[in-house]
Structures are given as structure tokens and as C-alpha cells.
Amino acid sequence: MSERTPGLRERTRLAVQKEIAEAADALFVERGFEATTVDDIAAAVGMSQRSVFRYFATKEEIVLGKFDLVVDDMLAALRARPADEAVWTSLHRVFDVLVSLAEKPGHEEMVEPIHRVVFETPALLAGYLQKLQHMQDAVVTELRDRADAAGTPYAVDDPTPRALTAAAFGCLVAAQHSWLASGAKGSFADAVDRAMATVGPRP
Amino acid sequence: MSERTPGLRERTRLAVQKEIAEAADALFVERGFEATTVDDIAAAVGMSQRSVFRYFATKEEIVLGKFDLVVDDMLAALRARPADEAVWTSLHRVFDVLVSLAEKPGHEEMVEPIHRVVFETPALLAGYLQKLQHMQDAVVTELRDRADAAGTPYAVDDPTPRALTAAAFGCLVAAQHSWLASGAKGSFADAVDRAMATVGPRP
DNA sequence: GCCCAATCTGTCAGCTACTGTCAATATAGG
DNA sequence: CCTATATTGACAGTAGCTGACAGATTGGGC
């Protein structure tokens, strides 16, 4: 009924999910996303195609599912910012969650190639942009709540929070683009900082 | 070999394409995108499914293909802006192309429902965002060319043009979102103006 | 108006992503 | 240890999409 310890069942499920994702990612990086069949992935982890689809709703989700976990972290990060902080600054700090994830040691080797697969595969890029869009919806809701709580609510038809959020996420994507285009040489954090410095809220 | 008058062949092709798109759009609005089969569309226009795919590469393109035509217009609009105009202003004016298209009389009745279908169907929203992304690539290239021609080129690793463009397009999507959320009551042009007024380039 | 090459079309066969169903198996948790 | 529940593979089926081919249609030069 309520929250309990994850439970063994749940834990094995996540473990299998991770195993599939890792095997699939390796294949995607090696042969490309479209050239890799779900049957290939199933064979690689030794299960039936049907079972792969029991862990991931779609082939895309094998790659993009990772980002769902980040959404919660990002929202938590947003809620943790002081209520009177400038919105643009809060958004910038929220992106630190993504940055630190990209720079986390261990799977550093895979982050950039997968990133590249996402940006170079039309279906994946589209799915990724859509996930960012959903994330923006959640962020906008949070920003409105925050303004309400601060006693300075936005008018219902005020596009400000959504426009600010969209602009910030636009900068994020621009940063990822620049970063990949430069061969992922500099730090990702710098790329984000630089992109977000070029634009800002109007006085 | 070179550019001639459209030619009858080409014109009939475009006519058939338009006929398919209109029949399909009606079905999409009526039953929804996913619930409508390509066979349904083929039956509606009295041809085989195979032939429908000869006019549109994918089912999504039947809806989203329209936007490809706009891209060229928008790029032309960008090139028509004075070279020394502020980038943000140029981008704002480029969006007028979209606005005037949405407000063009004749098919006004369909613009809003289709818009709604796009924003409410995950696959279509994803595809739409991806098209906007491609459009941004073209715009960024154009902005760099313009800066080069003006003798004030951007450094190759300067994220400014891309970030500005991404922020502007973010505002565009935010405007569409607000407009739809308000039941498409006010003018779309106002929605765009308001969204773009909340953000701007940093000094 | 005639003719031919280019284009269009339907049909069929096939691939891949994805889903429903069901019976068999495994196992968490009492 | 036992059973309710979750997990699985096997099979069948649908929808989107593609290649191949043969036949009908037709634009446009003659």
C-alpha cells in the first residue's frame, strides 16, 4: 500500500533492465540504432524478443529511459533552490544535475558515444526533445507554484514562466550541440555556462 | 536539366499530395492520429496503401510535411532582414511567416484542430520538435554567414548564435503552447510577441 | 493526332516494431 | 513447504513501411 523497501522482485527487475540497456547501448554504438534489431538485443542478453518488450515499452526507451530518472532529480533540485532566487539562475543550477551525471566517473566512456547516437538518430533526437518538452511542463508547474507561494503569482495567461523555461532548455540543447560539435573536448559544464550567458530574462 | 515551369506532371503530383493530406487531416482530427490507419486514408482517397506511401515517406509526414514548405519561406525572410539588425529582432520577424500562415483565411478552420492534434500526439510532437531543430540548424548557419559578411564573425566555438536561436524557438513553442492552452482565443501573433518579450540577448 | 518513354499504379511478398494471449515455470513471502 | 504472483517463451496477429514487377496512364515532342 505504502512505500516499502524496494523488495527483491523490484531489484532484480531493475538489474535486468540495466543489463538489457547496457547490452543494447553497446550494440547501438557499434552498429547504429536502426541497424540493430530488437531480436539482436534479445539474443545478446539471451532472452526472447517478447521479454525485452516487457522491460521497455519501445526500442527508443532502451536508450531514452535513462533520462526519466533524471527528471525527478532535476525537479528536486529546482525545489531545493531558494524561493526568491532569480528564475534564470535556478534553471541554470537545475542543469547541474545533468552536467554532474554526464561527468560522473565509471560510465564516462559511454556517455559521449551514446549522446552522439541520440543526436545523430532522427527518431532518438525527436524522442529526446519530446522528453525535454515534458520536463519543461513539470518545471513550469513548479515555477508557478513557487511564485504562488512567494505571493507574486503569474497571471494564468502570462507566458513568462513557460518562455523562460523554454529559452533555458533551448540553451541547454545548444550547449549539447556545441559540445558534441567540438568533439566533446571542453567540459560540458563550461558549454552550458557559456550558452546560458548569452541570453537572459528581460528587465 | 534546369529550372522550368512547374510542368503538369509536377502540378498533378502536388494536387494529389494535397488531396491525400486534406483527407487524412480530416480523419486525424475526427478519430485521432493513431486510431487512423494508412489503409483508412488510402480508402478515403480511393487508392492503394502503397500509393499513399509514394506521396508521403511516413504517416507523420502527411501531417508534418506542410512545415517543410515554411522552412524555405522563413529562411528567405531571414535573409531579407537588414544585416545590421539585432539578431533577436530578426528572429522575431522570421516567425511572422508562421503567424501569417496560421492566420491565412480559407483553411483557418483546420489550423487550430491540426495544431492541437500535433501537440497532443506524442509521435507528432516529437517529429515537430525535430523539424524545428533542423530549422534552427539552417538559421544558425545563416546567422553565421551574415556575421561573416558584416565583418564581425562569431568564433567557431562561440555558442551565441545557436543559443539565441534556440531561445527564440523556445519562445515560439511556448507561445504555441499558451495559445492552445487558452483555447486559441487571442491572436497567435500576440502570443508570439508576448513570449519573445520576456527573454532577450545579454548585453 | 501519334507514339514512346517516363511516370504512376496495384499487387504481392516481406521485414521490423509492437501487442495479446496462454500455458509453463520460477520464486517471494507467508 | 506451499501458493499466489510474477516472469517467461511460444505463437499469432496488426500496423508501418519497403522492394520488385507488371501493367495502365499520360506528358510532350514529333
State the CATH number of the domain containing residue B45: 1.10.10.60
Report chain D positions within 7 A of protein CB atoms. Answer: 6-12, 15-20, 26-28
Domains held by chain A: number: 2
Radius of gyration of chain B (CA): 19
The per-residue pLDDT for B4 is 45
Say yes or no: A38 and A97 in one domain: no
CA A190 to chain centre: 18
Q: What are the beta bridge partners of residue A153?
A: none
Q: Look at residue A159 and tell me if it is in a domain.
A: yes
Say yes or no: B166 and B181 in one domain: yes
List pLDDT tens digits, range B147-158.
Answer: 999 999 999 889
Per-residue pLDDT band at B2 (split at 50, 70, 90): very low
Q: What are phi and psi of A184, to 5 degrees?
A: 55, 35
Cβ of residue B189 closer than 8 Å to a chain A Cβ: no
**Are A167 and B164 in contact (CB < 8 Å)?**
no
Q: Look at residue B203 and tell me if it is in a domain.
A: no
Average pLDDT over residues B68-96: 94
* C-alpha cell of residue B159: 555558442
Per-residue pLDDT band at B6 (split at 50, 70, 90): low
| pLDDT over threshold 60, residue A152 | yes
Nearest protein residue, CA measured to C1' of D7: A51
The per-residue pLDDT for B1 is 38
In B84-123, the residues whose Cβ lies within 8 Å of chain A are 122
Contact, B92 CB vs strand D, < 7 Å: no
Q: Look at residue A64 and tell me if it is in a domain.
A: yes
Say yes or no: A49 and A65 in one domain: no
The per-residue pLDDT for B41 is 96
Of A56, A78, A103, the residue at which a domain comes to its end is: A56
Of A35, A56, A77, the residue at which a domain comes to its end is: A56
Say yes or no: A94 and A3 in one domain: no
Q: Look at residue A202 and tell me if it is in a domain.
A: no
Q: Rounded to an integer, what distance in angstroms lies between the CA atom of residue B128 and that of residue B133?
A: 9
* Residue the block writes with cell 566512456: A109
Say yes or no: A48 and A91 in one domain: no
Say yes or no: B174 and B126 in one domain: yes
Say yes or no: A130 and A33 in one domain: no
**Are B159 and A127 in contact (CB < 8 Å)?**
no
Averaged pLDDT score across all residues of chain B: 90
Say yes or no: A49 and A111 in one domain: no
The per-residue pLDDT for A2 is 35
Domain residues for A20?
A: 1-56
Q: Look at residue A203 and tell me if it is in a domain.
A: no
Say yes or no: B47 and B76 in one domain: no
For residue B154, give the DSSP letter.
P
CATH of the domain at B152: 1.10.357.10
Say yes or no: B122 and B137 in one domain: yes
Q: Look at residue B134 and tell me if it is in a domain.
A: yes
Of A56, A75, A94, the residue at which a domain comes to its end is: A56
Say yes or no: A75 and A163 in one domain: yes
Q: Rounded to an integer, what distance in angstroms lies between the CA atom of residue A80 and that of residue A97?
A: 12
Say yes or no: B70 and B148 in one domain: yes
